Amino acid sequence: MNAAAKRQFMDKFNLNGKVALITGGSRGIGKSIAMAMADAGADIIIASRKQPDLEEAAKEISQMGRKVIPIVANVRNLPEIDTLVQQVMDKFGKIDILVNNAATNPIYGPVFAFNEKAWDATMGLNLKGMFFLSLAVGKIMKDKGKGGAIVNISSEGGIRPGVGLGVYSISKAGVIMLTEVLAQEWGRYGIRVNGIAPGVIKTKFSEALWKDPVRAEESAANTALGRLADPDEMACMAVFMASDASSYMTGQTIQLDGGFFASVQKLLNNLPQ
Ligand SMILES: NC(=O)c1ccc[n+]([C@@H]2O[C@H](COP(=O)([O-])OP(=O)(O)OC[C@H]3O[C@@H](n4cnc5c(N)ncnc54)[C@H](OP(=O)(O)O)[C@@H]3O)[C@@H](O)[C@H]2O)c1
């Protein structure tokens, strides 16, 4: 074998021996990321609120041949975050990869529709929960001394305000800054923190934007590729960010949005009042 062939670049994408904790791993983008990380060799913990959904997803993901542990946790709730992390440590003794994916948008509409409860529900999960879970896992990664990788799921809405998604967009802009702040502070511990900003991906979460065919066509027309994405199209970027293939990348949020060029005014006119 010649020297060039020995360099084995593709091996850098593998996650063999790694332990990955993925919030919101029971469906949608989180489940796709869990499947892809298991395919790349990681053992997986998926965490969300509904046990039956988690168990079904775990069964599916375990077909990739890795250990998959479903853990019920509401990651909006700080004591549940601590219990989740403790359970993972009891089972695996380490966490190499954290995917902060769970999020919510309780109200689709103008910001006038928001009251304090809806604001707190959005920020409490999308930003506060993500921050405190990152702290809990980051501390373990730091103390173990072997570094780690964190992948935060933001949104195209965190870069340009999503129409009817005002408070959600504010929270997702916060996620992009959270990614930069943690990357800056934790690079010295070998912890890399990166993010993905998806466009419209066909999941339960975004049904309002694609279930109605007229709306789906409008959303698709706002992309350069002229179509919406399946959740699996987010998964390989997460594997890249979690693996040595991205060893010199941190603090970045990559847009996976099919080339988004919003016709914002037209969409604003259609926003329910
Ligand atoms: N789909 C899109 O178009 C799109 C676009 C941009 C960004 N994103 C982002 O992508 C991420 C995943 O979204 P998705 O579209 O895959 O959504 P989804 O299909 O609705 O899945 C959401 C997941 O999060 C879990 N979850 C919700 N609240 C939770 C909580 N409090 N604690 C723990 N788990 C919770 C859900 O399970 P339970 O309900 O059982 O808890 C489910 O597993 C989110 O951060 C979202 O903001 C999505």
Query: What tokens were used for 112?
Result: 């006038």
d(CA 37, CA 31): 10
Global confidence as pTM:
0.96
C-alpha 221/C-alpha 224 separation (Å) is 8
192 has which bridge partners?
A: 149
pLDDT tens for the 273 residues of the chain, in order: 566 667 789 999 999 999 999 999 999 999 999 999 999 999 999 999 999 999 999 999 999 999 999 999 999 999 999 999 999 999 999 999 999 999 999 999 999 999 999 999 999 999 999 999 999 999 999 999 999 999 999 999 999 998 899 999 999 999 999 999 999 999 999 999 999 999 999 999 999 889 999 989 988 998 999 999 999 999 999 999 999 999 999 999 999 999 987 666 666 667 776
Model pLDDT, residue 209: 87
In degrees, to the nearest 5, what angle opens at C-alpha 236 toward C-alphas 172 and 159?
20
Query: Ligand 1: distance of its center to the CA of 201 in Å?
Result: 11
Q: What is the pLDDT of residue 1?
A: 54
Ligand 1 centroid from CA 154, angstroms? 11
Give the residue whose CA is nearest to atom 22 of ligand 1: 24
Within 8 A by CB and 6+ apart from 168, the residues are 103, 104, 105, 122, 126, 155, 157, 162
Gap from CA of 246 to ligand 1 centroid (Å): 25
Q: In the prediction, which pLDDT does 208 show?
A: 87
For ligand 1, whether the C-beta of 155 sits within 6 Å is yes
Is there an atom of ligand 1 within 6 Å of 204 CB?
Answer: yes
- Give the C-alpha separation, 227 to 200, whole Å: 9
**Is 168 annotated as catalytic?**
yes
Q: What pLDDT is attached to residue 266? A: 63
**Residue 76 to residue 100: CA distance in whole angstroms:** 12
* Closest C-alpha among 218, 220, 246 to residue 40: 246
Tracing tokens 């791993």 back to the chain, one arrives at 25
Tokens in use for 93? 């003794």
To test ligand 1's pocket by mutation, which of 21, 23, 27 has the most ligand atoms within 8 angstroms of CB?
A: 27
Q: What pLDDT does 261 receive?
A: 74
Q: Which of 108, 168, 189, 248 is catalytic?
A: 168
Q: Answer yes or no: are the C-beta atoms of 231 and 202 closer than 8 Å.
A: yes
Please tell me the predicted confidence (pLDDT) of residue 265: 61
Residue nearest to atom 11 of ligand 1 (CA): 101
Residue 168 to residue 190: CA distance in whole angstroms: 31
User: Domains in the chain, please, with CATH?
Assistant: 3-269 (3.40.50.720)
How far CA 5 is from CA of 9, 11, 243, in Å, comes to 9, 12, 20
CB of 176 shorter than 6 A to ligand 1: no
Phi, psi angle pair for 270, to nearest 5°: -90, 0
Query: Is 158 touching ligand 1 by the criterion CB < 6 Å?
Result: no
Joined tokens for residue 30? 């989180």
Burial zone of 14 (CB within 10 Å; 0-12 exposed, 13-18 middle, 19+ buried)? middle
Furthest C-alpha separation in the chain? 67
